[in-house]
Structure 1
Amino acid sequence: MGNRKVVVVLKGYPRLSETFIAQELLGLERAGLDLVIVALRKPTDAKRHPIHAEIEAPVHYLPEYLHQEPVRVIRSLIACLPRAGFRRAFGALLADLRRDCTRNRVRRFGQALVLANEWPSGGQWLHAHFAHTPASVTRYTSMLRGLPWTCSAHAKDIWTSPDWDLAGKLSSARWTVTCTRTGFEHLRKLANGSSSVHLSYHGLDLARFGRFEAARPARDGSSAENAVAILSVGRAVEKKGFDVLLQALALLPAGLHWRFEHIGGGEQLEWLKALAQKLGISGRVSWNGALAQEDVLAHYRHADIFALACRIAGDGDRDGLPNVLVEAASQRLACVSTQVSGVPELLTHEETGLVLPPEDAPALATALERLIRDPALRMRLGDAAEHRVRAHFDYRSSVDQLKTLFEQEWQAAQ
């Protein structure tokens, strides 16, 4: 399959919050695909996961803002004007602008011009990760180069993009995969039931998240010296519901001993720290910032409970199936989360975790109190969750599915 070079378009690369993408890229490389990574912006994270060093694909960066590299953009425009696909791509841009007249649309077209002009040698296929801006650049580039394209849709890109935009991309792409049943059903509806939309769970590289065999301490919240450790991992953004989680922690009985650790960066971090202070729980809360994957794994193994209060944000943004929940479950952690998007596809209430309505701090507090006081319940839920992950969420299944989809297209083109 090495004679079929796939150009993978990402919003940013590498990113600590998108290990599932890095995992998939490495899996596809190991399955024999020849990849080139094209990112719309340079990395903003100071750290990298070890997996990024294992990916061999070269990385190319497009101008994040067109005015920053005008010569590069103008040179690409001049080179693309005579192309047979320019009129079609420009027509698509005009149609998009009639519905969404924003600088963002023009910027994506300019980035597509640069990609089409500075085309990686040997590239024969385009694949976008995320159905919003990366897919816009990919779709325009597909028209400019006359090449097929495909897409992996995830969460925010599905739920914050207008239906007309998604429908146009679904009809243009050869196939689209997405990682939750709720996302799959939404996209299938927009694609008029087309079989070109596929459900493909990301899964987990179980070699990196090996079995945690050690027995966790039977803490029950009765000892200040041996407090129950509650962990959450995720960017401090609205859809993660960390404010709801902090409010739930503040509702726990005064005599119950616990500590909370958060891992991740994000725009709401300072606001959340102030909220913890206002709620009177800041002395029990640790903010660790963004960490590399091996450090996150160590925190999973030292924690007693994993909590994630997912919600639907005001702009419609929401999680798909948070990879951190799958990671935590793989380490036999008892998980508590909400009935949002793909969470119930991993966690079944009272069987493999506790699953609650979103935006309900009192219900979350009650669930956390149960788990804090009952180490046997934590063990039962954690063991069941780990069994489910190892039986149904091995990332190799997703990689095999993607490889098959690519192979079917290439065989049909011969």
Structure 2
Amino acid sequence: MKRYPRLSETFILNEICAMEALGEHLDIFSLLPPEPPPHHPLVAQVRAALSHLPVTWGRKLVALGRGHAAAAAASPAGYARAFSHALRLSVTSAPLLSSWRQFLRAGFFASEARRRGITHLHAHFANAPSEVAHLVSMMTGLRFSFTAHAKDIYLTPPHLVAGRIRAASFVATCTHYNVAHLRGIVPGDQHGKINLVYHGIDLSRFRYRAPPYEFAAAGQPPLILCVARLVPKKGLDDLLAACAVLKRQGVPFRCRIVGAGPLRDQLATDIAARGLDRLVSLDGAMTHERLIGLFAQADLFALPPRIAEDGDRDGIPNVIVEAMATGVPVVSTAISGIPEVVEHERTGLLVPPNDPRALAAAMTRLLGDPALGRRLAAEARARLEQCFDCWQNTRALRGLVGRLTCEAVEAPDTAPDTVPGIVPDTVPDLAPDLAPDLAPGTALALSPGITLAAAE
């Protein structure tokens, strides 16, 4: 992705920490400078060196000039191939400035990759980061791979994503929904490159509240928690409309919405217009440690994503997984990859997107039936331990990098129920304890923007 560290992307941070804990030495390359604080506390535990272009224009131009000179001198033919590729994209596909921006970045990172002895590149996101990795691969001859997530898949022209898939050694993505989409835009001989590896979390960091527990503890109204960026695809206007229904029906509740984004003022106006000022609060962004504490206080987690007008959508929001890990019953919408973790009536409740009344009915049902909440919470935690543990899933990704052949077989028609983190038989010998260690000198790329890691 473009920036590391970034508070909203704990799934990548979890992956980096797990990879280091498995013994890999990582070097992280970020396309942009770090996001201003607050940062996730785990960032301080990351040992990998972080590299990015200088912030000031003078130093940035010098770094770009040196990087491109070194890249061109080291491999004139490879540099020419990358230049031709960028030129072709600027004329036929990508916006002119975007194409050359990625080319400029690639020259800098290509020289850094050579200097650090990197032998494999892995980028997070199918847009700018994977394009930079592709160009670096051309300049250096290194193999590259990438993880595709959500917005980057659905807002990037399909032919550009398809071209990166064809060039990559393998592609990982975090939902079976994404696997089906990506396989639909490339020929059949490319399908084996595309692997399902769910985002995992470190379940040991989330204390599960063993049932039974009761809503409205200590005489307080039940707490409905929502954690999301304040953007259209999160459906927060539907959540407010559903809260208004609960208020009219006399259902006791309070709702806290955690997150920042461009819709804050609009949502605040909506809260006031609906007379929800004393019931719903916009709490802004908060550190992950504070958020874990808030999960422990919640009686219900509600997040109603939708497919936005521009096609943007979620994959599996990490906050849903974190709520389930803590034992908080979840209500969400049946879009994208969400049904792969929130199985209706088994691990949570699902409603159609853009349907505040259905959302209100589901929340009312859960708030009024603690036994249902206990059952769903227990099933949800079991599902996470089966398929969403970061250690199992990082081993799966590590195994893909270690193999480099990436000869995955066809994924099943439904999300896997028994094999943690990866489509059954996609990589047959990558069971968590059997994934091959990376050989000395192998390089691994894991991080936002473009993450390069040289294994010890």
| Same fold by TM-score greater than 0.5 | yes
Q: Equivalents in 1 of 2:386, 2:163: separation in Å?
A: 36
> 1:122 Cα deviation (Å)?
1.9
Q: Tell me the secondary structure at the aligned position of residue 282 of structure 1.
A: coil
Q: Equivalents in 2 of 1:64, 1:339: separation in Å?
A: 42
**Equivalenced residues, count:** 401
Q: Which residue of 1 aligns with 2:220?
A: 226
Q: State how 1:57-96 maps to structure 2 within 5 Å.
A: 57-62=48-53, 69-82=60-73, 83=75, 84-96=77-89
Any idea what the Cα deviations from partners look like across 1:190-232, whole Å, max 9, x if unmatched? 2323211100011221111132237533439xx9x52110001
Q: Equivalents in 2 of 1:30, 1:246: separation in Å?
A: 41
> 1:14 Cα deviation (Å)?
0.7
Q: Which residue of 2 aligns with 1:52?
A: 43
Q: Which residue of 1 aligns with 2:26?
A: 35
Q: State how 1:173-188 maps to structure 2 within 5 Å.
A: 173-188=168-183
Instruction: Give the direction of change, closer, same or farther, for the CA distance of 1:215–1:189 in structure 2 (3 Å limit).
Output: same
1:357 aligns with 2:342: no
Judge conservation of contact 1:41–1:61 (CA < 8 Å) in 2: yes
Q: Which residue of 1 aligns with 2:214?
A: 217
Judge conservation of contact 2:53–2:60 (CA < 8 Å) in 1: no
Q: State how 1:1-400 maps to structure 2 within 5 Å.
A: 10-62=1-53, 69-82=60-73, 83=75, 84-97=77-90, 98-119=92-113, 120-193=115-188, 194-213=191-210, 215-219=212-216, 226-254=220-248, 255-400=250-395
State the one-letter code of the partner of 2:9: E
Q: Which residue of 1 aligns with 2:411?
A: none
Q: Which moved more, 1:376-385 or 1:316-325?
A: 376-385
Q: Tell me the secondary structure at the aligned position of residue 42 of structure 2.
A: helix
Q: Equivalents in 2 of 1:49, 1:195: separation in Å?
A: 35
Q: Equivalents in 2 of 1:86, 1:92: separation in Å?
A: 10
Q: Equivalents in 1 of 2:55, 2:301: separation in Å?
A: 36
Q: Equivalents in 2 of 1:103, 1:160: separation in Å?
A: 18
Q: Equivalents in 1 of 2:403, 2:49: separation in Å?
A: 25
Identity of aligned residues (%): 38
> 1:270 Cα deviation (Å)?
2.1
Q: Equivalents in 1 of 2:95, 2:134: separation in Å?
A: 18
Judge conservation of contact 1:219–1:375 (CA < 8 Å) in 2: no
State the one-letter code of the partner of 2:161: L
Q: Equivalents in 2 of 1:177, 1:289: separation in Å?
A: 32
Any idea what the Cα deviations from partners look like across 1:129-168, whole Å, max 9, x if unmatched? 1111111111111111111101011111111111110010
State the one-letter code of the partner of 1:242: L
Judge conservation of contact 2:198–2:388 (CA < 8 Å) in 1: yes
Q: Could you say which structure has the greater relative contact order, defined with CA pairs below 8 angstroms and 6 or more residues apart?
A: 2
State the one-letter code of the partner of 1:249: C
> 1:376 Cα deviation (Å)?
2.2
Q: Equivalents in 2 of 1:47, 1:215: separation in Å?
A: 35
Instruction: Give the direction of change, closer, same or farther, for the CA distance of 1:340–1:67 in structure 2 (3 Å limit).
Output: farther
Q: Equivalents in 1 of 2:198, 2:56: separation in Å?
A: 33
> 1:114 Cα deviation (Å)?
1.2
Q: Equivalents in 2 of 1:165, 1:64: separation in Å?
A: 29
Judge conservation of contact 1:66–1:107 (CA < 8 Å) in 2: no
Give TM-score, length-normalised by structure 2: 0.83
